[in-house]
């Protein structure tokens, strides 16, 4: 720890605890927050209050001259004016100044020294400080002494509500970002993930301006060649599970940047979903949740043994842990250019093949589409499979138009001759309720074959509706499951459902009928 004067930030609180060690933050959390405790494995158990997830409808981007023409304004990036940002910023500072002490974390976002940014987090809860100590990259003593002014500052006054009467506010929660000031203000929510995604939002803005592709994905590296593979995928597609491979080095599980020199992780830690977590199915994550980690919004018994199946508080239970808690993590978390890109989807309709190869246009189309399907019974009101599309496999965090990121992807694919694969971890032989889910062992075999380059030489056949090349043989996967139409008992039913899915893709893509997206649409299904 070191002393810090925040008066230039308008913070006059007498006591500032800067970059406290884990032991101090544990002690402070347990001493001052009665609900906070230690799990049987030694992780800090903390609760985020009323908000147990992100509040995307309450996130605002400030309209200002330096960035307004770069932003994809709409439902994701909702604007507020500079005056409103200043009001919320002042409200946050007023609250912070009422506290006896504040916790400050000064750390880096980005493992590439030439691209990293200096982040300062000012918060009132030790659990929040520990969380960001995990999720950012902690500087050495010398780096901290030379830290200087931050590039991005988060004012976390989440225990204090926004004023509903302030122009542009729709609730007592407000998460505001100003790119010109490089600041973020949090009011009315104590969910720690808002800070993590605030940093990602900034990187999603800054990196494309430099010609770098910021990505919501996991990444692994070959321990011999240091070449990387990128895995995109929405929740439930198996991204975390399939990127945990004992034969690969883990670069990171969630946020990365692809630059002119390779791929680097933005974060210093992982923030994994803990629902139904078991040591058998996710041994690396389960074993990482020990002393130094944070368990968020989980339920435990009198012996402080966590019940990961208990969702009475929320289904969004989480565990945050430093990436070095994973035994095969690659430190520092960067690697050479990728040889392959994998788009993971859980197709609950049973239409997409276990693996197919995409050309450049198809890769851009599926990247912008970001398809998966919600399965019946997993969410309230979902009685049958529902198609879900999330641009660039991370729409809530995009700052610029999706086509901007797709163009960067295409440029880098061309430059580095990258193979792109669409891998379905969903259903085969029919949709959910009729067919069966593709075995995890088969999905792992497919990913392994991609890693070692075997699929490039495999036989394929063209899907005449979607246009991609269906891989028809893969070591470790029975050939009779590789072509989905052949797995259905009634192939006419398959044709009808395939057309319906293709129409859902086409309907979703209509929102991108702008900015020269016609050429991109050529990568989509051809509906006669």
Annotated catalytic residues are: 54, 197, 216, 235, 239-240, 254, 318
Pairing of strands 37-38, 117-123: unpaired
Per DSSP bridges, beta strands 294-296 and 318-322 are antiparallel
Alpha carbon distance 470, 459 (integer Å): 8
Choose among 365, 356, 349, 311: nearest CA to 437.
349
Query: Is the CB of residue 433 less than 8 Å from the CB of residue 235?
Result: no
3-state secondary structure of 425: coil
> At a CB cut-off of 8 Å and minimum separation 6, what does 187 contact?
88, 91, 92, 157, 158, 160, 161, 162, 172, 173, 174, 175
C-alpha to C-alpha distance for 60 and 184, rounded to whole angstroms: 10
| Residues with Cβ within 8 Å of residue 345, at least 6 apart in sequence | 233, 234, 237, 352, 371, 372, 373, 422, 423, 424, 425, 426
**Length of the chain measured in residues:** 528
Contact between residue 307 and residue 39 where contact means Cβ atoms under 8 Å apart: no
Could you tell me the maximum CA-CA distance found in the chain, to the nearest angstrom?
A: 73
Query: Angle 193-209/126-135 helices, nearest 10 degrees?
Result: 40
């Amino acid at each position: 720890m070191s002393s810090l004067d925040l008066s230039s930030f308008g913070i006059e609180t007498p006591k500032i605890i800067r970059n406290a060690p884990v032991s101090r933050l544990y002690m402070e959390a347990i001493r001052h927050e009665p609900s906070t405790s230690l799990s049987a494995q030694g992780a800090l158990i903390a609760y985020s209050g009323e908000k147990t997830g992100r509040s995307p409808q309450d996130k605002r981007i400030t309209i200002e001259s330096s960035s307004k023409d770069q932003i994809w304004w709409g439902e994701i990036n909702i604007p507020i004016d500079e005056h409103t940002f200043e009001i919320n910023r002042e409200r946050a500072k007023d609250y912070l100044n009422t506290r006896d002490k504040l916790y400050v974390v000064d750390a880096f976002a980005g493992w590439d020294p030439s691209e990293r940014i200096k982040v300062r987090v000012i918060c009132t809860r030790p659990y929040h400080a520990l969380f960001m100590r995990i999720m950012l990259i902690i500087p050495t003593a010398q780096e901290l002494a030379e830290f200087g002014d931050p590039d991005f500052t988060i004012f976390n006054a989440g225990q204090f509500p926004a004023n509903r009467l302030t122009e542009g506010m729709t609730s007592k929660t407000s998460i505001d970002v100003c790119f010109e000031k490089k600041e973020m203000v949090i009011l009315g929510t104590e969910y720690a993930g808002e800070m993590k995604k605030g940093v990602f939002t900034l990187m999603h803005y800054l990196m494309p301006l430099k010609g770098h592709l910021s990505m919501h994905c996991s990444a692994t590296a070959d321990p011999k060649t240091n070449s990387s593979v990128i895995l995109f995928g929405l929740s439930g597609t198996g991204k975390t599970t399939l990127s945990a491979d004992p034969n690969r080095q883990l670069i990171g599980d969630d946020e990365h940047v692809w630059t002119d020199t390779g791929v680097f992780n933005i974060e210093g830690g992982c923030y994994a979903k803990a629902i139904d977590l078991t040591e058998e199915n996710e041994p690396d994550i389960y074993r990482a949740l020990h002393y130094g980690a944070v368990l968020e919004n989980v339920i435990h018994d009198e012996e402080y043994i966590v019940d990961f199946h208990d969702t009475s508080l929320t289904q969004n239970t989480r565990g945050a842990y430093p990436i070095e808690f994973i035994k095969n993590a690659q430190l520092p978390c960067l690697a050479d250019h990728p040889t392959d890109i994998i788009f993971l989807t859980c197709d609950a309709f049973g239409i997409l093949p276990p693996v197919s190869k995409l050309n450049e246009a198809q890769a851009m189309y599926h990247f912008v589409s970001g398809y998966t399907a919600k399965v019946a019974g997993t969410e309230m009101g979902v009685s049958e499979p529902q198609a879900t599309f999330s641009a660039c496999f991370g729409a809530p965090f995009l700052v610029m138009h999706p086509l901007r990121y797709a163009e960067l992807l295409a440029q880098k694919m061309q430059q580095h001759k990258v193979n792109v694969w669409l891998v379905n971890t969903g259903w085969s032989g029919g949709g959910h309720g009729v067919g069966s889910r593709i075995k995890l062992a088969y999905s792992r075999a497919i990913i392994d074959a991609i890693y070692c380059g075997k699929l490039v030489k495999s036989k394929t056949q063209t899907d005449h509706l979607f246009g991609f090349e269906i891989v028809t043989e893969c070591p470790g996967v029975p050939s009779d499951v590789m072509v989905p139409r052949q797995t259905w008992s009634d192939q006419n039913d398959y044709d009808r459902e395939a057309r319906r899915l293709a129409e859902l893709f086409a309907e979703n893509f209509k929102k991108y009928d702008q900015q020269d997206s016609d050429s991109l649409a050529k990568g989509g299904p051809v509906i006669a």
